[in-house]
Amino acid sequence: MNPAYEKLVNCYESIREKIPMIPKVALVLGSGLGDYANDIKVVSTLPYQEIENFPVSTVPGHKGQFIFGYVDEVPVVCMQGRVHFYEGYPITDVVLPIRLMKLMGAKILFLTNASGGINLSFKAGDFMLLTDHISTFAPNPLIGENIDKLGTRFPDMSHVYDERLNGVIRDVARENAIDLKEGVYAQLTGPSFESPAEIRMLSKLGIDAVGMSTVVEAIAANHMGMRICAISCVCNLAAGLSKNPLTHEEVQEAANAAAPKFKKLLTESIKRFA
C-alpha cells in the first residue's frame, strides 16, 4: 500500500475508535484564530499527540487538537492548529489532517489563515475571500504515486473555491456590514517572511495576499472532491509596503483584534452551508 495512504488509514482507524461523530464541515483555524473553538458546542477534543504518527504542530498560537462539535446544528470537525510545511514535515504529512477529515465524513472544507496583504487597497485587519490561488512556490502534495482511492492522477483545478459557498459568505458579510475583499492567495514555504523584492514579484503576478499555508490543503481537498472555501485575515502589509519590520506577534495581535468579526462570518456562513 502507498505509505502515505497507509498512514492515513491508520490515523483514521485510531480516531474512529474514539470519535463516532460524522462531521459535515471541516474547519481549519489559522494563526490567532484558534479561539473560535470557544464558539463551538464541543462534543469532544482530541489532541494531535494522541493520534499515532500524526504530525504535531509546533507554532506558537497553534494549539494542536481536533475539536468535534456543533456550530448551531451543523456537525463540524475543527483543527485548532494546522501543520505547516516549514515545520519540516513531508508535504504528504502536511495534508494528512485534511484527508483525515474527509475520511471522517466532512464534505465541505472551510480554510482560514493569516496573510500579508499585497494588494494596495488592503489594510491590516481586512478579510479576503479566496477566489483562486497560486501554488507554484510550494511543493504539490499530490506528487508521488497517486492514491487512486482518494482521487484522480490529474485533477482539474478550474474551480477549487466553490462559487456557491463563496456566495453564502458574501451574503453573510454584506448583511453584517463586514468589509470582505476578494482575491488570489499565494502560499510560499516560509518560515522567513518574504523580502520586499519577492513581494514586488508576487504583486506583478497578480497575487493579492501571501501566506505559508492553505494552498496545499486546498489541492489535497480538491483532489478528493471536497467543496472548499477559504478566508484570509490580512494581518499586516507585506514586506516593503510598510516601514515596520514583520513579526509573528504582530500577525497574532492583528488576528486577535479581527477575531470577533471573523467568528461572526464563520458561524453565520457555516449555518447556511446546508
Name the site residues for ligand HPA (rule: CB under 6 A). 114-116, 193-194, 210-212, 235-236, 238, 246, 251
Strands 227-237 and 126-134: antiparallel
User: How many whole angstroms separate alpha carbon 193 and alpha carbon 148?
Assistant: 36
Choose, from 31, 113, 256, 269, the residue flagged as catalytic.
Answer: 31
User: How many whole angstroms separate alpha carbon 206 and alpha carbon 65?
Assistant: 35
Among this protein's residues, is 84 annotated catalytic? yes
Among this protein's residues, is 236 annotated catalytic? yes
Among this protein's residues, is 159 annotated catalytic? no
Residue of minimal Cβ distance to ligand HPA: 116
Query: 190 in the Ramachandran plot: left (φ > 0), alpha (ψ -120 to 50) or beta?
Result: left
CB of 208 to ligand HPA, least distance (A): 12
Among this protein's residues, is 31 annotated catalytic? yes
CB of 132 to ligand HPA, least distance (A): 18
106 vs 239 by CB, closer to ligand HPA? 239
CB of 254 to ligand HPA, least distance (A): 8
Among this protein's residues, is 221 annotated catalytic? no
194 vs 217 by CB, closer to ligand HPA? 194
CB of 192 to ligand HPA, least distance (A): 9
Choose, from 10, 14, 70, 248, the residue flagged as catalytic.
Answer: 248
Among this protein's residues, is 213 annotated catalytic? yes
71 vs 118 by CB, closer to ligand HPA? 118
User: How many whole angstroms separate alpha carbon 222 and alpha carbon 29?
Assistant: 19
CB of 261 to ligand HPA, least distance (A): 17
Among this protein's residues, is 269 annotated catalytic? no
115 vs 135 by CB, closer to ligand HPA? 115
**Terminal CA-CA length for the chain:** 36
| Cell digits of residue 91 | 508535504
- From 139, 100, 145, select the one nearest 2 (Cα to Cα): 145
Choose, from 57, 135, 222, 236, the residue flagged as catalytic.
Answer: 236
- Residues 225/139, Cβ–Cβ less than 8 Å: no
User: How many whole angstroms separate alpha carbon 62 and alpha carbon 59?
Assistant: 5
112 vs 166 by CB, closer to ligand HPA? 112
Q: What residues are annotated to the active site?
A: 31, 62, 84, 86-87, 114, 212-213, 236, 248
